[in-house]
Amino acid sequence: MPYHDDLLAQAGHLAQLDRTRPKQVNLRRAISAAYYAMFHLLIASAVNNWRIERQRADLSRAFEHKKMKGVCNNLVSRNADLAMVAETFVVLQQNRHRADYDNARVWTRVEVRDHIRSVKDAFAAWGRVRSQPQAQDFLLSLFVPERR
């Protein structure tokens, strides 16, 4: 199973643990795993276009969280699937940041289930749109510097 699918499965697993009283550590890690599932889905989709396979791991290091968020936030697309992928990325990144760094923030299972479900929807949307030219242009924009 690809790494991003494993991460999404892990997020779902963590969110279901501790049936009666969920532990914050599991909910936080679930949010983080759900975000990284999206992050690696997009990176894998981009670098898999690179013909020389041994260089793909190095290329994947060119992706930066903040840059990707900016591209997703500024995306203007009439394609509902692509817009949904971009919006979900932005939302999950913000939540991942809070889950990993804001210890005062309390998470609940409903919040976490909702975010994981959003990522699942985004995965499905990406499956529908990924081969279209605008999705491929979007992937390129995620790591190529903007023209000035």
What lies within 8 Å, CB to CB, of 127 at 6+ separation is none
Report the 10 Å Cβ neighbour count for 22: 18
Identity (one letter) of the amino acid at 45? S
Nearer to another protein, 33 or 122 (CB): 122
Q: Decide if 123 contacts 89 (C-beta within 8 A).
A: no
Among 79, 111, 130, 134, which residue sits at the site for another protein (rule: CB under 8 A)? 111
**Residue 109: CB minimum distance to another protein, A:** 7
Among 98, 128, 130, 136, which residue sits at the site for another protein (rule: CB under 8 A)? 98
Q: Decide if 42 contacts 139 (C-beta within 8 A).
A: yes
Q: Which stretch in 8-16, 38-46, 109-117, 138-146 sits in contact with another protein by CB under 8 A?
A: 109-117
Identity (one letter) of the amino acid at 69? K
Residue ranges binding another protein (CB under 8 A): 66, 69-70, 73, 90-91, 93-95, 97-98, 106, 108-111, 113-114, 117-118, 121
